[in-house]
Chains A and B, each alone.
Chain A
Amino acid sequence: MTSQKMICQGLSCERGGRRVLSDVSFELDGGAALLIKGPNGVGKSSLLRTLAGLVSASAGTIALEGGREDCRLGEQSHYFGHLDALKPALSTIENLRFWQEFYEPHSLPNGTGAIFPDLEAALEAVGIGHTTDLPSGYLSAGQRRRLSFARLLSVPRPVWLLDEPTSALDAASEERMLGFMEQHMQMGGMVIAATHLPLSLANVGELNLSAVQGPAGGSDATAEDTQAGMDDWFYD
């Protein structure tokens, strides 16, 4: 199998006692990107966290065709969220090396590995090569963000889940990051990004999350759904 396909069907989830996603479906081919759009609080982050397996879906299926069958999607994905997952007490390269050694690499369908398997090269590529041995606590917010992004470059994983990837980045860094996304897609990888900025990528689709009527308001069909969440159970 030389290409992969992500299929997500009827995904629903709830957080904090509130249904934030209901019946989200999409398909995404290898080498393509999907931008998740929508107003604030509509569930963009929740969708990414659900795909990553950090939030359990109350209904629906997620599958990566052509991927490892014994692994969930989240285990074959990089999740790049609001938090940088960096330890200020560790040096820049120690931070990056840990994730490279800890993460199981999942090479892309055509067999290519990481974009920058060499850590120093990865740091150089995101423009913080001069900070290698500095504690990452000395880095600026933008530099920390780039160091965190270097994790995606040093461990191969076919799916990138990016939550507001360009926040705290200047125009040049944003440009560079877009370049890496393009590169990842050319290697057959997939990118799913939640953003309200236009990301100028080729081969990109949009998933517009829009608010729909929740289970409140006496919609019996949802309330009687056996998959209904805890809150529906009490609301009844």
Chain B
Amino acid sequence: MTLYDLANPTFFLKLVRRVLPWLIGACVLVSAIGLYMAFFSAPEDYQQGNTVRIMFVHVPSAWLALFCYGMMSVSSIGSLVWKHPLADVSAKAAAPIGATFTFLALFTGAVWGKPMWGTWWVWDARLTSMLVLFIMYLGIIALWKTFDDPAKAAPKIAVLTLVGSLNLPIIKFSVDWWNTLHQPASVFRTDGPSIATSILVPLLVMALAFTLLFVAMHLSAMRNEIFRRRIRSMRVRVAAKAPAAAAGRVVGAAGVAGGN
């Protein structure tokens, strides 16, 4: 119940209003640094040439795609355990953003794949896992859209999100297994701890920029969702123009004691 007091919508909106400009500023700054490093300071790959620079968008997108699902899962726990509306809003707002990052990871993967493998799509283990994640995101978004009442949708979608997060590692594992079974030579073997500092630093900077972007977008999406629900709530009230609630008063009778 203290959560109710801590995070009431007015307080939250005030917080968003104050924090958002700083976040956007920081995001622009870090992105500029990251992009500069990615394009000018990071070396070309001796095999892939300039195409390797796609990695600076691709890898952070993939990270954020997973991070966003994690965010949704934490919010889902919040809406199931504490039944806090802000957690519902957070989970709902995160879904389209996560789907976008997942799409970005898939899209850059395809663009990267074309010069490398000569085809837009290969059933690489990571790309395939990303595709499954994308379908899960789209399913969750479709589910949000199908329910009329977001308050009823929230606990159900939270359950599904959590089952999904339990399943994600299993999906990842099974897809890896499937992949090694069918094509033993994986293409993405250049990364790992052996990655050169000249590549790693811009990558981390870009990851930070993407994270800031995510936080900024998530907060504004949450703000929009709160506004949307306020409108909904006002409309419901208009529809129920007649006084909304009923109070009970007992008219005394045998065997029934009067209430207060």
B242 at the interface (CB under 8 A from A): yes
Partner of B256, one of A32, A208, A216: A32
Within 8 A of A (CB), among B77-121: 85, 88
Partner of B85, one of A21, A31, A203, A233: A233
Contacts of A212 in B (CB 8 A): 243, 245-247
By size class, the interface of chain B is 35 or more
A76 CA to B124 CA, complexed, in Å: 57
Residue of B nearest to A213 (CB): B243
Interface string of A181-221 (1 = CB under 8 A from B): 00000000000000000000001111111111111100000
A11 CA to B259 CA, complexed, in Å: 11
Are the CB atoms of A26 and B248 closer together than 8 Å? yes
A26 CA to B260 CA, complexed, in Å: 8
The interface centre, meaning the residue of B1, B4, B229, B247 with most chain A CB atoms within 10 A of its CB, is B247
Are the CB atoms of A18 and B256 closer together than 8 Å? no
Given known A29-B255, A205-B253, A230-B85, contact A214–B248 (CB-CB < 8 A): no
Residue of A nearest to B260 (CB): A25
A92 at the interface (CB under 8 A from B): no
A203 CA to B252 CA, complexed, in Å: 11
Min C-beta distance of B82 to chain A, whole Å: 12
Are the CB atoms of A28 and B256 closer together than 8 Å? yes
Contacts of A21 in B (CB 8 A): 245-248
A33 CA to B253 CA, complexed, in Å: 10
* Dominant SS among interface residues on chain B: mixed
Given known A18-B236, A231-B151, contact A23–B247 (CB-CB < 8 A): yes
A136 at the interface (CB under 8 A from B): no
Are the CB atoms of A236 and B8 closer together than 8 Å? yes
The interface centre, meaning the residue of B4, B230, B236, B249 with most chain A CB atoms within 10 A of its CB, is B249
The interface centre, meaning the residue of A16, A29, A33, A234 with most chain B CB atoms within 10 A of its CB, is A234
Within 8 A of B (CB), among A141-181: none
The interface centre, meaning the residue of B5, B249, B256, B260 with most chain A CB atoms within 10 A of its CB, is B256
Contacts of B258 in A (CB 8 A): 27
Residue of A nearest to B88 (CB): A230
Are the CB atoms of B9 and A236 closer together than 8 Å? yes
Instruction: Taking A214-B237, A231-B233, A233-B85 as given, write out 9 further A-B residue pairs in contact, using a Cβ cutoff of 8 Å, ordered by the A residue number.
Output: A20-B244, A21-B245, A22-B245, A23-B247, A205-B253, A210-B246, A233-B8, A235-B230, A236-B10
Interface residues of B (CB under 8 A from A): 1, 4-5, 8-10, 85, 88, 149, 151-152, 226, 229-230, 232-234, 236-237, 240, 242-260
28 contacts between A and B (CB under 8 A): A11-B248, A17-B232, A19-B245, A20-B244, A20-B245, A21-B245, A21-B246, A22-B247, A24-B246, A27-B259, A29-B256, A32-B255, A33-B255, A38-B246, A203-B254, A203-B255, A204-B253, A205-B251, A205-B253, A205-B254, A207-B248, A209-B247, A210-B249, A213-B245, A226-B5, A231-B236, A234-B85, A236-B10
